[in-house]
């Protein structure tokens, strides 16, 4: 690899860490560098040609690389972080600014690094850095809701990291090599192949919002600063998807049952996320459930790739295509949730159009990136080409997913209209939102896609006979949304976190039941009295241990990232 390319790779990963050195002295000026930090990574992604960089002295023989698949994820990650960083300049009011910048830089470093990591050691290190550093973004404002969301996020993050680390250790032990490219084949031939597959699915599934592992998403997004919400849902959630693609035994026989199970889980996420999302009263909570719903559609693709190894080469480009489309559109929607509308009627109409277009693109509006992604997805998931039990149900599931997606978008627009905040926006905030929106609407058409055999290409437009399959789900959603607005004056409310709220209520009821006099005092069994005496101390010790362990883990990861340079 040339010295210029080596410098660019080091700048892509190391610039966010170098920026941390300025935190003690830069003060308020520090935030003006946030949109510049992802630029080396964006340049790296746009430079043509694949490359590899072997680092035998780092960890367990590390390898950093960039190929066509990773390039798409790197473009998405760098562009969205750049837009959100520009937005943050106008969004931040100086409160906890240094803490925000530190957590932002560490999270950015982890998110960019895991995309180009080609070995398990580097990948997990960057992934863990991104996971734990983003906790500071979730709890940024320090409110009661933010701290509660942070606790749920940390519990889910630790659970996911444990499962992921166990899966990677078992996979590397079977492989005898730490390179990610060697893992799928070795896992497919391993004696405990299904155990390793399950660990990797659930470990990455926490980040990707797998059903029953999704609780942190609708809690974290509404309380996090808006630029952090954009990258959490647009870029970081895709780290779980990329992990699945790189480590699962795609292209190998023996995992058809896993594929069908993932299709069912994807359907539950797609439709269940939409059903709960339309019952939300906060704009960012609606968008969080929309991300869960859209990740369910991407889970369908992963399930199809597991179940039909002969079609993996066709399905993987579509996964990348859909991830890019969703990440850019969802990032633009999150940023628009804080934009104030202009007072002039003409300008306000243009603003509403720019706010709505990324949402309608998610539903597959013709002439948008969503149309390309939806048609490509339907092409590779045709029932007559898939030897799966669930193959006949994929087409109606995708159609139902398109209707559900637009219903969520309509709910978001309705709640945004109720806020109806007017006034002038800071210039940087407007530029950041505009960059994300234009990237969602325009950039997609200039990327050098190579998708032979698919109906998707950035310079390709749907033919006349393909407009109706794209339009009728949108029309159905508009009719349903209009009828609901007229006939249901007040939508049912489901609190963010859905099933987790029920578990918390059950826990509180159980606690109040155990506090009854029959369970305490001299008449209670001696064992229960001893439990009540020691429980506060155990609880405090557990909380202190969790905090100390988290601080220690973050310190080790920071030192590790410094060693990478």
Residue 488 is predicted with a pLDDT of: 67
446-471 burial string, b = 16+ CB within 10 Å, else e?
eeebebeebbbbeebebeeebeebbe
First to last CA, the chain: 17
Among the ranges given (25-29, 186-190, 328-332, 434-438), the one the predictor scored with the smallest mean pLDDT: 25-29
User: Is the sign of the CA dihedral 407, 413, 414, 419 positive or negative?
Assistant: positive
Residue 477 is predicted with a pLDDT of: 84
How far is residue 37's CA from residue 16's CA, in Å, rounded to a whole number?
6
pTM given for the model = 0.86
Region 246-260 average pLDDT: 88
Residue 504 has pLDDT above 70, yes or no: no
Q: How many percent of the chain have pLDDT more than 90?
A: 30
Q: Is 492 helix (H, G, I), strand (E, B) or coil?
A: coil
The pLDDT tens digits of the residues spanning 155-171 come to: 889 999 999 999 999 99
Residue 227 is predicted with a pLDDT of: 93
C-beta separation of 160 from 135 below 8 A: no
Q: How many CA atoms lie within 13 A of 328 on its CB side?
A: 32
Region 485-504 average pLDDT: 70
Residue 533 is predicted with a pLDDT of: 53
How far is residue 47's CA from residue 451's CA, in Å, rounded to a whole number?
19
Domain ranges of the chain: 1-197, 250-493, 515-564
Region 384-389 average pLDDT: 75
- By the 10 Å C-beta count (0-12 exposed, 13-18 middle, 19+ buried), 543 is classed as exposed
């Amino acid at each position: 690899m040339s010295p210029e390319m080596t410098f660019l790779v080091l700048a892509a990963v190391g610039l966010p860490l170098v920026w941390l050195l300025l935190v003690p002295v830069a003060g308020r000026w520090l935030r003006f560098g946030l949109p510049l930090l992802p630029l080396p990574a964006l340049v790296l992604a746009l430079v043509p040609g694949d490359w590899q960089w072997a680092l035998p002295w780092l960890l367990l023989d590390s390898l950093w690389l960039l190929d066509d698949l990773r390039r798409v994820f790197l473009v998405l990650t760098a562009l969205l972080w750049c837009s959100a960083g520009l937005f943050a300049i106008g969004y931040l009011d100086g409160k906890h600014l240094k803490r925000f910048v530190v957590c932002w830089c560490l999270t950015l470093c982890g998110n960019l690094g895991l995309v180009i990591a080609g070995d398990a050691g580097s990948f997990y290190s960057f992934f863990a850095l991104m996971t734990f550093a983003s906790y500071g973004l979730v709890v940024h404002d320090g409110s009661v809701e933010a701290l509660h969301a942070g606790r749920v996020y940390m519990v889910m993050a630790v659970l996911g990291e444990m499962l992921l680390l166990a899966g990677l250790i078992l996979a590397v032990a079977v492989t005898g090599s730490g390179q990610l490219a060697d893992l799928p084949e070795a896992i497919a031939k391993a004696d405990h192949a299904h155990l390793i597959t399950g660990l990797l699915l659930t470990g990455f599934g926490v980040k990707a919002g797998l059903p029953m592992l999704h609780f942190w998403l609708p809690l974290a997004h509404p309380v996090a600063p808006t630029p952090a919400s954009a990258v959490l849902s647009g870029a970081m959630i895709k780290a779980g998807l990329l992990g699945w693609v790189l480590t699962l035994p795609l292209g190998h026989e023996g995992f058809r049952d896993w594929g069908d199970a993932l299709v069912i889980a994807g359907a539950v996420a797609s439709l269940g996320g939409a059903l709960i999302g339309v019952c939300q009263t906060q704009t960012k909570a609606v968008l969080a459930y929309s991300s869960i719903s859209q990740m369910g559609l991407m889970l369908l693709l992963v399930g199809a790739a597991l179940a039909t190894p002969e079609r993996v080469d066709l399905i993987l480009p579509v996964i990348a295509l859909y991830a890019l489309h969703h990440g850019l559109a969802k990032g633009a929607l999150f940023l628009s949730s804080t934009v104030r509308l202009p007072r002039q009627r003409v300008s306000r109409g243009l603003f509403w159009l720019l706010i709505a277009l990324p949402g309608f693109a998610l539903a597959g509006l013709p002439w948008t990136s969503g149309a390309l992604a939806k048609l490509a997805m339907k092409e590779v998931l045709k029932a007559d080409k898939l030897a799966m039990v669930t193959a006949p149900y994929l087409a109606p599931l995708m159609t139902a997913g398109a209707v559900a997606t637009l219903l969520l978008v309509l709910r978001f627009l309705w709640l945004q209209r109720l806020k109806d905040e007017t006034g002038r926006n800071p210039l940087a905030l407007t530029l950041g939102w505009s960059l994300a929106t234009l990237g969602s609407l325009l950039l997609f058409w200039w990327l050098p896609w190579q998708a032979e055999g698919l109906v998707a290409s950035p310079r390709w437009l749907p033919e006349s006979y393909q407009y109706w399959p794209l339009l009728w789900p949108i029309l159905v959603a508009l009719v349903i949304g209009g009828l609901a607005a007229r006939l249901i004056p007040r939508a049912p409310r489901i609190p963010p976190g859905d099933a987790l709220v029920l578990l918390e209520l059950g826990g509180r009821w159980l606690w109040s039941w155990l506090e009854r006099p029959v369970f305490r005092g001299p008449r209670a069994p001696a064992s229960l009295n001893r439990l009540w005496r020691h429980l506060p101390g155990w609880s405090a010790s557990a909380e202190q241990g969790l905090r100390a362990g988290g601080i220690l883990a973050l310190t080790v990861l920071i030192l590790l990232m410094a060693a990478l340079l």
